[in-house]
């Protein structure tokens, strides 16, 4: 850590973020999310990590980009936890797994297939990557409140984007196809690149995690505002629930 106590990668110190944090991958998505906060202000940007902080219903909240994939997401989680954040929602896009998924429908992620390598450096692969039920419920409640189409289910977290979208050209094409068919048969609803590690790190540190992903099947345009609005509304649900029940931390 540097002399001024900023975390190495996110370049933030205690007090720079709220306990509630949204985690998009794309730094360019931070400002549009922050625009839905009250009194939002830019805090820092370093590498793939951009941070804005504001308030919702009087509670400090933040949005911090993680970049693409589990390794950079793990760094963001570790450093944010060190400076006081304890509630995280992954906000992103994903590939639809189930045939017939409506383009742009939101996936409220309940758990993740650990088809990536980062989380294996934390816990054996037999340990499940599960979202916090309270966060799952908050995202689903927010989506219903806003009238946004959504479904609950399991995501596949992977390390290779092109291994999913162009598997036929890979030397392991047959193995990739077999595994994809297994995810379909098992009822997994989407494929992305961060949730499993976020959930596993959350379990180790005793913090809350969840994920909301907009699902794509490659057909037509989608309304990105639905994804952003649902994630911010989910924070409002959590804030109200925490105040009413005093159950966190």
Q: What is the pLDDT of residue 217?
A: 85
In a domain, 122, yes or no: yes
In a domain, 215, yes or no: yes
- Residue 81's alpha-carbon distances to 75, 104, 109, 181, 201, in angstroms, are 10, 31, 21, 36, 10
28: which DSSP letter? G
Q: What is the pLDDT of residue 4?
A: 80
In a domain, 223, yes or no: yes
In a domain, 248, yes or no: no
Q: What is the pLDDT of residue 1?
A: 43
Q: How many folded domains does the chain comprise?
A: 1
Does the pTM surpass 0.95? The reply is yes
Residues in the chain where the model's pLDDT stays below 50:
1-3
pLDDT digits (tens, 9 = 90+) for 155-197: 999 999 999 999 999 999 999 999 999 999 999 999 999 999 9
Q: What is the pLDDT of residue 218?
A: 75
Alpha-carbon gap, residue 47 to 26, rounded angstroms: 11
Q: What is the pLDDT of residue 32?
A: 98
Q: What are phi and psi of 74, to 5 degrees?
A: -65, -40
H/E run at residue 194 = none
Tokens encoding 185 = 């048969």
Could you please report the per-residue DSSP string of 142-156?
Answer: HHHHHT--EEEEEEE
In a domain, 5, yes or no: no
In a domain, 14, yes or no: no
Q: What is the pLDDT of residue 177?
A: 97
Alpha-carbon gap, residue 163 to 177, rounded angstroms: 10
Could you please report the per-residue DSSP string of 111-164?
Answer: EEEEESSGGGGTS-TTS-EE--HHHHHHHHHHHHHHT--EEEEEEEEES-HHHH
Q: What is the largest CA-CA distance in the chain?
A: 54
In a domain, 247, yes or no: no
- Residue 149's alpha-carbon distances to 24, 102, 129, in angstroms, are 20, 9, 25
> Where are the strands (E) in 159-233, listed by range?
190-192, 208-216
Q: For CA atoms 198, 119, 51, 249, give the dihedral sign.
A: positive
Domain containing 71 equals 20-242
Q: For the domain that residue 56 is a member of, what is the CATH number?
A: 3.40.50.1580
């Amino acid at each position: 850590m540097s002399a001024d106590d900023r975390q190495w990668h996110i370049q933030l110190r205690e007090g720079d973020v709220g306990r509630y944090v949204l985690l998009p991958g794309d730094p360019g998505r931070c400002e549009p999310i922050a625009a839905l906060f009250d009194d939002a202000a830019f805090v820092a940007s370093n590498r793939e990590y951009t941070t804005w902080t504001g308030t919702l219903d009087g509670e400090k909240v933040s949005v911090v980009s993680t970049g693409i994939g589990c390794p950079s997401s793990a760094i963001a989680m570790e450093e944010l936890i060190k400076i006081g954040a304890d509630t995280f929602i992954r906000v992103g896009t994903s590939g639809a797994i189930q045939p017939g998924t409506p383009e742009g429908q939101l996936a409220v992620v309940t758990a993740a297939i650990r088809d990536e390598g980062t989380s294996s450096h934390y816990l054996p692969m037999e340990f499940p990557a599960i979202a916090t039920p309270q966060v799952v419920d908050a995202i689903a409640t927010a989506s219903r409140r806003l009238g946004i189409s959504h479904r609950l289910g399991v995501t596949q977290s992977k390390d290779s984007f092109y291994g999913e979208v162009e598997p036929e050209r890979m030397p392991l094409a047959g193995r990739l196809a077999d595994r994809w068919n297994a995810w379909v048969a098992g009822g997994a609803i989407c494929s992305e690149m961060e949730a499993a590690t976020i959930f596993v790190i959350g379990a180790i540190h005793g913090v809350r995690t969840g994920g909301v992903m907009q699902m794509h099947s490659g057909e037509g345009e989608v309304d990105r505002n639905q994804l952003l609005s649902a994630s911010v509304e989910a924070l409002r649900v959590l804030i109200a629930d925490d105040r009413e029940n005093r159950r966190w931390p």
